[in-house]
Structure 1
Amino acid sequence: MLTLYEYSMSGNCYKVRLILTQLNIPFIRRKIDILKGESRTTEFLLKNPNGRIPVLEIEPGKFLFESNAIMFYVSESTDFFPTDKFERAQVMQWLFFEQYSHEPFIATSRFWYITGKAEEYQEALQQKQAPGYAALGVMEQHLENHAFFAGDRYSIADIGLFAYTHVAGEGGFDLTGFPAIQTWIERVKNQPRYTSIAD
Structure 2
Amino acid sequence: MKIYGDSQSGNCYKLQLVASFLNISYEWIELDIKNGDTKTESFLKLNPNGKIPILLLDDGKVLSESNAILNFLAEGSELVPKDSFEKAKVLQWQFFEQYSHEPYIAVARFIQHYLGIPEERKVEYESKRSGGYKALRVMEIQLEKTPFLIGERLTVADISLFAYTHVAHEGGFDLSEYPKIREWIQRIQNQKNFIPMKSR
Query: Structure 2 matches for 1:73-84, cutoff 5 A?
Result: 73-84=72-83
Structure 1 position 38 matched with structure 2 position 42: no
Q: CA RMSD in A?
A: 1.0
AA at the equivalent of 2:121: Y
Q: Which has the higher mean CA deviation after the structures are superposed, 100-109 or 118-127?
A: 118-127
Could you tell me how far 1:61 is from its partner in structure 2? 2.4
Query: Structure 2 matches for 1:131-142, cutoff 5 A?
Result: 131-142=131-142
Paired with 1:60 and 1:108, the residues of 2 have a C-alpha distance of 34
Match of 2:14 in 1: 15
- TM-score norm. by structure 2 comes to 0.96
Query: Structure 2 matches for 1:24-63, cutoff 5 A?
Result: 24-63=23-62
Match of 1:163 in 2: 163
AA at the equivalent of 1:46: K
Could you tell me how far 1:99 is from its partner in structure 2? 0.3
Q: Which has the higher mean CA deviation after the structures are superposed, 56-65 or 111-120?
A: 111-120
CA contact (8 A) 1:4 1:28 kept: yes
CA contact (8 A) 1:4 1:27 kept: yes
Between the two proteins, the alignment pairs up a number of residues equal to 198
Q: Which has the higher mean CA deviation after the structures are superposed, 43-52 or 118-127?
A: 118-127
Paired with 1:31 and 1:157, the residues of 2 have a C-alpha distance of 25
Q: Which has the higher mean CA deviation after the structures are superposed, 181-190 or 120-129?
A: 120-129
Structure 1 position 66 matched with structure 2 position 53: no
Paired with 1:154 and 1:14, the residues of 2 have a C-alpha distance of 16
Structure 1: tracts of 5 or more residues without a match:
none
CA contact (8 A) 1:87 1:151 kept: no
Could you tell me how far 1:198 is from its partner in structure 2? 2.3
List structure 1 runs of 4+ shifted beyond 4 angstroms.
none
Paired with 1:50 and 1:68, the residues of 2 have a C-alpha distance of 16
CA contact (8 A) 1:102 1:132 kept: yes
Could you tell me how far 1:128 is from its partner in structure 2? 1.0
Paired with 2:33 and 2:156, the residues of 1 have a C-alpha distance of 25
AA at the equivalent of 2:94: L
- TM-score norm. by structure 1 comes to 0.97
Q: Which has the higher mean CA deviation after the structures are superposed, 163-172 or 124-133?
A: 124-133
Match of 1:93 in 2: 92
Q: Which has the higher mean CA deviation after the structures are superposed, 57-66 or 72-81?
A: 57-66
Paired with 1:82 and 1:128, the residues of 2 have a C-alpha distance of 32
Structure 1 position 103 matched with structure 2 position 95: no
Paired residue secondary structure (1:29) = strand
Paired residue secondary structure (1:49) = coil
Match of 1:188 in 2: 188
Paired with 2:164 and 2:127, the residues of 1 have a C-alpha distance of 18
Paired with 1:152 and 1:58, the residues of 2 have a C-alpha distance of 33
Paired residue secondary structure (2:29) = strand
What's the CA shift string for 1:3-62, capped at 9, x where partnerless?
Answer: 110111000000011001111001111111100111011100111111001011112521
Paired with 2:112 and 2:131, the residues of 1 have a C-alpha distance of 18
Q: Which has the higher mean CA deviation after the structures are superposed, 110-119 or 14-23?
A: 110-119
CA contact (8 A) 1:32 1:39 kept: yes
Could you tell me how far 1:116 is from its partner in structure 2? 2.0
